[in-house]
């Protein structure tokens, strides 16, 4: 099967012959916003002595080699299916040409950047410069770094609204960060929210939950507990056995804290056989996990991942570098990039969980295209190594604040990133039982940055044909469609601070599907087979028969009814919800 590049931007041939006399003062804009992103205001230049850590993404020698290899090992019809790459093999595929490295080092040397402050990262495809004076970063990038404050959250960032590179470097450098990625009030936002419900009713549900993991109780229509999901998605009769090899990873940002005491109470009430479960905490970039301050997102993710995948070992990655940010005289603003901090860490590891769930995202248009494309390629590195990476699709239907941010205010649906990255699996939301229907909050649509990947050509084309001219001009019909799959996303009982709450959002769906994928990986590993890795080529081919098609409901937004769930793929529930038993038979 042939696969095509997933970026809308044209592939620029790399010119590897270094210019004999490069002109470092001949600058060309790499990315610029038309104005300061909405809700951000400049509060002035950073104080003298302010430093910043810069990351420079170098373009690989063979630009399509990584994606080509990813699809080979992920396509069930390919002879290399399941033959995932080692960390070293991936590093070879993403390695820049020696001319690129030489030219970039010459540029840095011209601007007085000491070699001792430069280190390679991300399998050698990036250079990280530590403690660079902000004034020197300005000169290096033709930029104007300033301290920006968000008018609603008071978060501060050290950013520039524009940066440039010498013309001779554009064919060699994919991205410099942090530069123009501001994020916003929903940057890495939690895709779940508490529902006002009388706590005494929830307490009663905790004390008298549905017992059968094989029969869907009528109570599941209004309140979800782990046994509801086991019955809905046919996992109740499976017990993991490859627990010495298979691991499930959960990522956390925004100072989210997962409580072991809350997990124990949750499981003792709802899954007593799993009440001994615990999780490992791994700190990334100064991330913490305060046991005295449990929070919604981490509680939801850990409690449902653990309950469905038990006794599979679970790792909670807590990543720092996100608001609230405490300034000091040398670091007046947040200069970190949480996605990049976590990816830098995880790609350096020799042992990575086979399944990783993330419940955060941004409006795609708030993420600079070069940033989105380069970060997406890093997720492709994980997929090539046999890691299934899943993201919640978001909770805003087809969007809110539905205009472009390019100064033209063009009406448009707003897709979410990283859900639009073609190398991850995006998880939408459903609600109700017998039958399940689309949850109105389930974000879905079409990317404006990434072209439709070939693995979903048929499925997405069928949907667009049926849509006709409805919503014409509000979405990109040639873009990557999302979500890919879905699961329950409303009325989840969770425990926070030893008290019960109800939660909703595709943050409920992502750990649910991730746990089911982890069970599939456990089964494969127990049979001496490779884990699933990047899921989408499987889901859009033979795996579709293992999904429950959702054919009713919609995802309203932007003053419209949104897209409708239909037979086959749709941008509300994707291909449907998982049936573990059927998928087990398909992959086994």
pLDDT in tens, 265-279: 999 999 999 999 999
Please state, in angstroms and as integers, the Cα–Cα distance from residue 195 to each residue in 1, 111, 270, 300, following that order.
46, 54, 20, 13
pLDDT-based confidence at 325, cuts 50/70/90?
A: very low
Q: Within this chain, do residues 203 and 168 fall inside the same structural domain, yes or no?
A: no
Residue 48 covered by a domain: yes
Question: Is the per-residue pLDDT at 2 higher than 70?
Answer: no
143 and 287 both lie in a single domain: no
pLDDT confidence tier of residue 336, bands split at 50, 70 and 90: low
Residue 6 has pLDDT above 80, yes or no: no
Residue 9 placed within a domain = no
Q: What is the pLDDT of residue 189?
A: 40
Structural domain that includes position 282: 189-326+334-587
Q: What is the pLDDT of residue 190?
A: 44
What's the mean pLDDT in 496-522? Answer: 95
Residues 169 and 196 reside in one and the same domain? no
Q: Are 153 and 323 in contact (CB under 8 A)?
A: yes
Residue 354: which pLDDT band, with cuts at 50, 70 and 90? Answer: very high
Residue 186: its pLDDT value, please?
46
Count other C-beta atoms under 10 Å from residue 2's C-beta.
Answer: 6
231 shares its domain with 291: yes
What CATH number does residue 410 fall under?
3.40.50.200
pLDDT over 70 (residue 568): yes
Cα–Cα distances (Å) from 517 to 60, 266, 349, 464, 476, in that order, read 31, 22, 21, 29, 30
Mean pLDDT of the chain: 90
Q: Is the pLDDT score of 335 beyond 70?
A: no
- Rounded Cα–Cα distance for residues 339 and 349 (Å): 16
Assigned domain for 12 exists: no
In a domain, 87, yes or no: no
Residue 26 pLDDT more than 60?
Answer: yes
Domain membership of residue 76 (yes or no) is: no
How many structural domains compose the chain? 2
Q: Name the residue with higher pLDDT: 309 or 285.
A: 309
Q: Same domain, yes or no, for 322 and 407? A: yes
Task: Quick: pLDDT tens for 53-65.
Answer: 999 999 999 989 9
- Whether 239 has a pLDDT exceeding 50, the answer reads yes
Spatial contact of 483 and 31, defined as CB atoms under 8 Å apart: no
Domain contains 396: yes
Same domain, yes or no: 438 and 497: yes
Looking at 177, 207, 226, the residue that finishes a domain is 177
Task: Give a yes or no: residue 125 inside a domain.
Answer: yes
One domain for residues 211 and 168:
no
Residue 20 lies in a domain: no
Please give the share of the chain, as a percent, with pLDDT higher than 70: 90
Which residues are the active-site residues?
Answer: 297, 301, 507
What are 73-127's pLDDT values in tens digits?
A: 999 999 999 999 999 999 999 999 999 999 999 999 999 999 999 999 887 799 9
Same domain, 118 and 261: no
What is d(CA 414, CA 284) in angstroms, rounded to the nearest whole number?
A: 30
Name the token pair of 347: 């790609």
% helix, strand, coil for the chain, step of 5: 30, 25, 50
Separation between Cα atoms, residue 89 and residue 367, nearest integer Å: 30
pLDDT at 583: 98
Which of 187-196, 231-240, 296-305, 452-461 shows the lowest mean pLDDT across its residues? 187-196
DSSP string across 516-552: HHHHHHHHHHHTT-----S-HHHHTTGGGGGEE---S
Phi first, then psi: what are they for 269, rounded to 5°?
A: -85, -40
Which one of 177, 201, 233 terminates a domain? 177
pLDDT tens per residue across span 368-398? 999 999 999 999 999 999 999 999 999 999 9
Same domain, yes or no: 255 and 115: no
Which of 157, 177, 197 is the last residue in one of the domains?
A: 177
pLDDT at 63: 85
Cα→Cα distances 418→308, 427, 475, Å: 25, 11, 17
pLDDT reading at 5 higher than 80: no
Q: How far apart are CA 137 and CA 66, in angstroms?
A: 30
Mean pLDDT of the 17-27 span: 77
Of 96, 74, 91, the residue nearest 83 (C-alpha): 74
Q: What is the pLDDT of residue 155?
A: 82
Render pLDDT for 459-504 as a digit per residue (tens, 0 to 9): 999 999 999 999 999 999 999 999 999 999 999 999 999 999 989 9
**Residue 104 and residue 46 share a domain:** yes
pLDDT digits (tens, 9 = 90+) for 432-443: 999 999 999 999
Q: Is residue 11 predicted with pLDDT exceeding 50?
A: no
Specify burial of residue 219 (Cβ count, 10 A radius: 0-12, 13-18, 19+): middle
Give the three-state DSSP class for 370. helix
């Amino acid at each position: 099967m042939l696969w095509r590049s997933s970026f809308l931007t044209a592939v620029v041939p790399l010119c590897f012959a270094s210019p004999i006399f490069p002109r470092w003062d001949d600058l060309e804009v790499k990315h610029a916003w038309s104005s300061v992103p909405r809700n951000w205001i400049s509060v002035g230049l950073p104080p003298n002595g302010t430093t910043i850590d810069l990351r420079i993404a170098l373009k690989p020698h063979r630009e399509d080699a990584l994606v080509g290899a990813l699809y080979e090992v992920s396509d069930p019809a390919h002879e290399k299916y399941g033959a995932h790459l080692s960390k070293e093999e991936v590093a070879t595929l993403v390695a820049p040409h020696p001319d690129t490295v030489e030219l970039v080092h010459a540029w840095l040397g011209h601007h007085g950047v000491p070699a001792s402050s430069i280190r390679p990262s991300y399998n050698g495809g990036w250079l990280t410069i530590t403690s660079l004076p902000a004034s020197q970063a300005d000169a290096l990038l033709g930029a104007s770094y300033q301290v920006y404050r968000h008018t609603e959250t008071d978060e501060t960032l050290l950013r520039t609204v524009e940066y440039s590179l010498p013309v001779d470097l554009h064919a060699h450098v994919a991205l410099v960060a942090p530069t123009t990625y501001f994020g916003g009030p929903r940057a890495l936002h939690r895709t779940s929210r508490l529902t006002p419900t009388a706590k005494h009713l929830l307490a009663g549900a905790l004390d008298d939950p549905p017992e059968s993991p094989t029969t869907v109780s009528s109570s599941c229509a209004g309140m979800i507990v782990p046994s509801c999901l086991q019955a809905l998605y046919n996992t109740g009769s499976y017990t993991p056995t490859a627990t010495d090899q298979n691991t499930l990873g959960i990522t956390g940002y925004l100072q989210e804290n997962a409580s072991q005491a809350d997990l124990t109470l949750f499981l003792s009430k709802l899954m007593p056989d799993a009440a001994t479960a615990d999780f490992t905490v791994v700190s990334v970039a100064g991330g913490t996990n305060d046991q005295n301050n449990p929070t919604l997102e981490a509680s939801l993710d850990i409690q449902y991942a653990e309950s469905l995948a038990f006794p599979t070992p679970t790792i909670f990655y807590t990543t720092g570098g996100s608001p609230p940010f405490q300034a000091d005289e040398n670091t007046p603003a947040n200069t970190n990039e949480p996605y990049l901090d976590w990816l830098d860490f995880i790609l350096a590891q020799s042992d990575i969980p086979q399944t990783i769930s993330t419940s955060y995202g941004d409006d795609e248009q708030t993420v600079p295209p070069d940033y989105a494309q380069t970060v997406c390629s890093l997720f492709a590195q994980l997929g090539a190594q046999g890691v299934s990476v899943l993201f919640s699709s978001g909770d805003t239907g087809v969007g809110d604040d539905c205009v472009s941010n390019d100064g033209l205010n063009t009406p448009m649906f707003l897709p979410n990133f990283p859900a639009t990255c073609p190398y991850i699996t995006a998880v939408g939301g459903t609600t109700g039982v017998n039958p399940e229907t689309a949850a109105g909050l389930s974000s879905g649509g079409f990317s404006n940055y990434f072209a439709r990947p070939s693995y979903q050509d048929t499925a997405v084309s069928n949907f667009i044909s049926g849509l006709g001219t409805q919503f014409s001009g509000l979405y990109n019909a040639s873009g990557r469609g999302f979500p890919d799959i879905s699961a329950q996303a409303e009325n989840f009982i969770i425990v926070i601070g030893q008290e019960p709450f109800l939660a909703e959002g595709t943050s409920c769906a992502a750990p649910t599907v991730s746990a089911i994928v982890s069970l599939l990986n456990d089964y494969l590993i127990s049979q001496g087979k490779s884990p699933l890795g990047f899921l989408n080529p499987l889901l859009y081919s033979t795996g579709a028969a293992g999904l429950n098609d959702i054919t009713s409901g919609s995802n309203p937004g932007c003053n419209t009814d949104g897209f409708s769930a239909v037979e086959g793929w749709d941008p509300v529930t994707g291909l449907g919800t998982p049936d573990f038993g059927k998928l087990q038979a398909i992959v086994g």
